[in-house]
Structure 1
Amino acid sequence: MCETKATGRWRGQRDGDGKMLSKQDLDMIAAYKYKPGAYTHLDNLLTPFWNWAVTLLPVWMAPNLVTFIGLAGTCLASLLVTSYSPGLEGETVPGWCSLLFALALFLYQTLDAIDGKQARRTNSSSPLGQLFDHGCDAAVKVLCFVAMCATLEVGPTPNVMILFCIVEGVFYMAQWEEYHTGTLNWSNGYMGVTESQLIQMGLFVISAFFGQDIWSAAVTLPGTDLRVSVLQAMVWALIPPAVAMVSSNIRRVWASRPEDLPEEERGLKTIGVYPGVLQLLAMSAAMGLGVALSMGPALPVFVKHTGLQLFMLGTVTTHLTSQMIVHHMAKSALSLQDVTCPSLLVLAAVTLNVYLPTLGIGETSPMDPEKALYLGSGIAMASYLRYVSGAISDICWHLDIQCFRIKHSSGNGKKED
């Protein structure tokens, strides 16, 4: 396998020409072909509805605009829900608000399912579509989790952060597997993204009609005398499938060999067990920092601003996931330096600021932890938006397309440097 040339810059920084991505990355992305995983029975059942829904879109509407409308609706609905319950406990989320989020999630699911159909319908398919689509999926996952925690009154405990890390880890591991095997497995043929989204919609609808207290009602676990809340039972029920999915990701990567990928798909990728482990360190660090910010000296701020801390960690994990997707599409080497990002360092700084007195360095934190959280969240979001907007801009320039407009009848052309 050939080696990449050292660029002398951190991946995610602009080069001397103002580009976020290299010429080699852009050439590889231009030649990228998407390989989806298995569809579920429900996907096949809903396909006729999606085929009908896409006919309602005007032919001038760009596929990425379709996805973005769904993302914007979900973002507004999530902010509305969390505005009623910033601590994710103790405040009542109105029933109409829960219904609105269920509707927003259904809208996103539908638009996310038909954006590719719109691309084929308008002959505007391009590699940018996958990056934009999966990047939006990563963001919606965070928005939905925070809104659901507020609606179900999960509460500001370290457990909610651990649960959040499990959800983020499952999504990231799927992208990690795709980098190594070339195929994104989003389902096992029976349970996948569509099913999980419909379950989430159902939970919001139940909260709207029966109230949030239903989740604190006690139930007896089958075959035992143990009584737990409905919410606890649901959380425990999530763990086995999450472990199974991650185990499957690891098993398939472990069994794969570099020579299993065709040379045109392998490119300059660093694949295999050892590099694969290194590629997981940054996400593992983000999760560890997130958990640290939910306990010990950080607990008072976490209790007060649970939603904001989840949004901050979600920004970091979405940044890391987006970088993984770009590296897969560019078929580029993925070292430990490449999978790290500035927003992760910001998260580390916010965490260190809280724990310095505990480590015996100073009597108080250098910056008020609450102010540090607000500042860190803003910087992390700015870092992520800078990366993703730069990558999108570079790809659009290289392919001679526009992100939210259909410029040509085909999006496969590219500019030459």
Structure 2
Amino acid sequence: MLVCRGSYTYLDNVLNHFWTYSVQFLPMWMAPNLVTMIGTGAMVSTTVVQLYYAPHFSEICPTWPADSGGLMPAPATDSSASLQVYLLSAMGLFFYQTMDALDGKQARRTGASSPLGQLFDHGCDALCTVFNVLSAAATCQVGAGMRPYVALSSVSIAFYLAQWEEYHTGVMSCGNGFYGVTEGQLSLVAVHLLAAFFGPSFWTAELPLGTSFPVTTTDVLIGTLVLSNVLLAYGNISNVLTAAPDAIPRDELGNKHISKPLAMFQLIPIGILLVLGSLWICGPDAENYVNYPVLFLFPIGIGYVFFAVRDVGLN
């Protein structure tokens, strides 16, 4: 039996009323996995649109003024209201977040819960984690440097460690009780909305901190993101290392082989991926990475997805 530690935040409890109301509009024949797939498809589609216009994470997404006939976007400047693409990304993420919350309710409503459904749900969540980071990187205009790679790795490793902790303790840490998955997703929605209504330069503005080097709003955002994920990672590892040997009842253990040395050994592949990814984008192919960052970051993200889904499949 899966138990979530720190998963229900204040925002979860508030939005639960909206989710409970919304699930009533889903037909009973709709499988929970279909709910997940529709939400994932929307998230992926809006991100693809954004990356089409900002493939280097540095372009300002265009707007579609009335005089263009709605067919071709006008050249974008920060003074033009680049509302549509960023608003589309915000809507796609919010729709995915809602459908992700509804799939579990639909499973209980239809009695269709299954381990395969859980695997599919976590696989889609892991995939959307990659697309969420790429979309946010394009909105914040981080450029094809280390910043998008650091953001992608920190978020993906945090997701992986949550699955890893569940494997060894039967408990998934989804947050700290104050800030969890819902808050993280809606924070990214806010990132897109701020760019839509205040212009993308909101995220490239230098802050008057009096430092010897420029610090932008995006730098603060990424720094906060990495710090929070480091704290989450520390909590995951600490929970596994301090878990009682019988943390998972024997009748729920199945074919698992659980031990502290094995748990630490399972972290080696994700560490290797982190190191090799760093060498790939900073080594001889660095120039190609600058020209085609998505072609580098997406395969690395898929590697993180593979390890996260593999752990769920072993549960």
* TM-score, scaled relative to structure 1: 0.68
Displacement of 1:271: 2.1
Write the distance in 2 (CA, Å) between the matches of 1:197 and 1:272.
33
Larger Rg: 1
Q: How far off its partner does 1:161 sit?
A: 1.2
Structure 1 position 179 matched with structure 2 position 148: no
- Which residue matches 2:61? 92
Q: Which residue of 2 aligns with 1:256?
A: 243
On the 8 A contact 1:106/1:201 being kept in 2, the answer is: yes
Could you say what secondary structure the match of 1:297 adopts? coil
Contact residue 59 and residue 138 of structure 2 kept, 8 A? no
C-alpha deviation, 1:257, in angstroms = 3.2
Identical pairs, percent: 37
- Is the Cα contact below 8 Å between 1:217 and 1:230 reproduced in 2? yes
* Structure 1 unaligned residues grouped into runs of 5+: 1-32, 329-417
- Rounded Cα–Cα distance in structure 1 between residues aligned with 2:135 and 2:197: 17
Task: Give a deviation string over 1:263-289, Cα, whole Å, max 9, x none.
Answer: 022233232321111101111111111
2:203–2:218 Cα contact (<8 Å) kept: yes
Give 1:86 shift. Answer: 1.0
CA distance in 1, matches of 2:28, 2:247: 40
Which residue, out of 176, 193, 199, partners 2:181? 193
Aligned residue in 2 for 1:169: 157
Q: How many residues align?
A: 294
State the match for 1:123 in structure 2.
111
2:44 is equivalent to residue 44 of structure 1:
no
- The alpha-carbon deviation at position 77 of structure 1 amounts to 0.7
Change (3 A) 1:124 1:292: same
Q: CA deviation at 1:62?
A: 0.8
Match of 2:23 among 47, 54, 75: 54
- Counterpart contact for 1:162–1:291, Cα < 8 Å: no
Cα distance between partner residues in 2 of 1:80 and 1:169: 26
Determine if the alignment matches structure 1 residue 35 to structure 2 residue 12.
no
Q: Among 246, 267, 282, which residue is 2:233 paired with?
A: 246
Aligned to 1:216: 204
Q: Distance in 1 between matches of 2:143 and 2:61?
A: 12
Q: Separation in 2 of the partners of 1:95 and 1:306?
A: 24
1:283 matched residue in structure 2: 270
Q: Distance in 2 between matches of 1:240 and 1:280?
A: 20
User: Residue 322 of structure 1: CA displacement?
Assistant: 0.6
Q: 1:230 aligns with which of 200, 210, 217?
A: 217
What is the CA distance between 1:225 and its match in structure 2? 4.8
**Structure 2 gap segments, 5+ residues each:** 63-81
What is the TM-score of this pair, normalised by structure 2?
0.89
Within-5 A mapping of 1:355-366: none
Query: Is residue 90 of structure 2 the alignment partner of residue 102 of structure 1?
Result: yes
Compute the displacement of 1:34 (Å).
Answer: 3.0
